[in-house]
Chain A
């Protein structure tokens, strides 16, 4: 049984923020609740006050900015909406494909992308791809608005840069450069991903102009493989494809997975190496698949 709590249903962001500030550690945000309710049931979290933010219109908006090509997803937008959105499928198809893989359809119907990010589960799917996209996380607290790079948002296992009075209002995904192709690969034998790899590669004249490679679920937070990225700049696609396994090995050594029931450190690094290799080879052959 979950302990009794007081339910608050603010209809404005300002009211929600002031409630969070007022009740501090005793309050939790309720959006989809797919993670929170599990925590409350198992006693891993407790709350005397739940602030239901589903009635706040601005958190439910999803917009594609025609001018800038950026995608803006409100904090309380469900995974299912992102997955099924025609605008996301057209302009950011790999994000739609990744969202499709989150948990199961029931979780996706109710769970939100803001909730996913704020929970900072090290085995979640969205963070890794959003990191490769260099997405921004916007939050509002009593002190005002905050705008963070995804890379600065995740601090540690289940820890983010959010203050107790802050709510994620929006995730902004900038338009990738022209001729950019993307891939999201993951190894998920059970419920949550054990290894995730996200790659965005900008092509130019048969070569790699720029690449962003993120490794997720293999450490306290997703990471960019900056050293590997530098090494791939201006290399030909043929060369990258031929050396993909070595590049994968180099990338895998950068991550710091935990040994658990899903595998040893060496096993997880082996999987990471394989996924990086496959992702690079897929993108080196991808001609017209844009993200």
Chain B
């Protein structure tokens, strides 16, 4: 049907956006190169490590293993879309306060995955956080601070919404 460019219309970090992509273009390359949003990181390039995680209609996906045209009609959230009006998201705040990152390379993926978790389960147990996050790999922190950051953000977000 088409091997030229595919027009796409979608929401990018809360705003309507239009673009044209080649069928074979990967979502991660579209995000980093076409959109210039380099907060999403390429690491294993196989969908295993989670560094390239973005949220599509609220669901965590590996942008390295998805075509760009798949965002058509959907809501794409990258790490750059979390802070609102200059204010950090509670997850970002907690990761800073609780030492949830060292080199920071896995962090975008960690925070977005945690956001998806907290949408689904606003009050997760430690075990539930661990299980949900088991698809995101970190080489620096040993995970403990990441889990604490997420639990801390969950508390903040529950307090804020009640």
**A38 at the B interface (CB under 8 A):** yes
- A11 and B6 alpha carbons, distance in the complex (Å): 17
Q: Once the chains bind, are A7 and B1 in contact (CB under 8 Å)?
A: yes
- Are A104 and B2 CB-contacts (below 8 A) given A5-B23, A33-B66, A109-B59? no
Q: Mark A109-135, 1 if CB is under 8 A from B, else 0.
A: 110000000000000000000000000
**A241 at the B interface (CB under 8 A):** no
- A80 and B60 alpha carbons, distance in the complex (Å): 11
Q: Looking at the complex, which one of B3, B60, B134 makes contact with A109 (CB distance below 8 Å)?
A: B60
**A179 at the B interface (CB under 8 A):** no
- Are A5 and B24 CB-contacts (below 8 A) given A104-B48, A106-B50? yes
- Are A7 and B62 CB-contacts (below 8 A) given A33-B67, A37-B67, A41-B45? no
Q: Mark A15-57, 1 if CB is under 8 A from B, else 0.
A: 0000000000000000001100110110000000010000000
Q: Mark B48-81, 1 if CB is under 8 A from A, else 0.
A: 1010010000011110011101000000000000
Determine chain A's interface SS by DSSP, over half rule.
Answer: mixed
- A191 and B6 alpha carbons, distance in the complex (Å): 34
**A6 at the B interface (CB under 8 A):** yes
**B46 at the A interface (CB under 8 A):** yes
Q: Once the chains bind, are B24 and A4 in contact (CB under 8 Å)?
A: yes
B47 vs chain A, min Cβ distance (A):
6
Q: Could you write out 15 A-B pairs with CB less than 8 Å apart?
A: A5-B3, A6-B2, A7-B1, A7-B2, A7-B23, A33-B66, A34-B47, A103-B135, A104-B48, A104-B134, A105-B60, A105-B135, A106-B113, A107-B62, A110-B66
**B22 at the A interface (CB under 8 A):** yes
- A3 and B23 alpha carbons, distance in the complex (Å): 10
Q: Once the chains bind, are B60 and A37 in contact (CB under 8 Å)?
A: no
Given contacts A4-B22, A105-B60, A106-B50, list 17 more A-B pairs with CB under 8 A.
A1-B24, A3-B24, A4-B24, A6-B2, A7-B6, A8-B1, A33-B65, A33-B66, A104-B135, A105-B113, A105-B135, A106-B60, A107-B47, A107-B62, A107-B135, A110-B61, A191-B48
**B26 at the A interface (CB under 8 A):** yes
Which chain B residue has the least Cβ–Cβ distance from A6?
B3
Q: Mark B1-14, 1 if CB is under 8 A from A, else 0.
A: 11100100000000
Q: Once the chains bind, are A106 and B61 in contact (CB under 8 Å)?
A: yes
B152 vs chain A, min Cβ distance (A):
21
The 8 closest A-B CB pairs, nearest first, are A104-B135, A6-B3, A2-B24, A7-B23, A109-B59, A106-B62, A37-B65, A8-B1
Instruction: Please give the number of chain B residues whose Cβ is less than 8 angstroms from any Cβ of chain A in the complex.
Output: 27
Q: Mark B74-109, 1 if CB is under 8 A from A, else 0.
A: 000000000000000000000000000000000000
A262 vs chain B, min Cβ distance (A):
16
- A236 and B59 alpha carbons, distance in the complex (Å): 47
- A38 and B48 alpha carbons, distance in the complex (Å): 11
A152 vs chain B, min Cβ distance (A):
31
**A147 at the B interface (CB under 8 A):** no
**A278 at the B interface (CB under 8 A):** no
Q: List the B side residues contacting A41 at CB < 8 Å.
A: 45
Q: List the B side residues contacting A40 at CB < 8 Å.
A: 24
B104 vs chain A, min Cβ distance (A):
20
Q: List the B side residues contacting A3 at CB < 8 Å.
A: 24
**A9 at the B interface (CB under 8 A):** yes
B131 vs chain A, min Cβ distance (A):
9
B108 vs chain A, min Cβ distance (A):
14
Q: List the A side residues contacting B24 at CB < 8 Å.
A: 1-5, 40
- A4 and B3 alpha carbons, distance in the complex (Å): 7
Q: Once the chains bind, are A106 and B53 in contact (CB under 8 Å)?
A: yes
Which chain A residue has the least Cβ–Cβ distance from B53?
A106
A194 vs chain B, min Cβ distance (A):
16
- Are A106 and B1 CB-contacts (below 8 A) given A3-B24, A4-B22, A6-B23? no
Q: List the A side residues contacting B26 at CB < 8 Å.
A: 2, 37
Q: List the B side residues contacting A107 at CB < 8 Å.
A: 47, 62, 135
B68 vs chain A, min Cβ distance (A):
11
Q: List the A side residues contacting B134 at CB < 8 Å.
A: 104
Q: Once the chains bind, are A104 and B67 in contact (CB under 8 Å)?
A: no
* Residue among A80, A103, A104, A106 with the highest chain B CB neighbour number at 10 A: A106
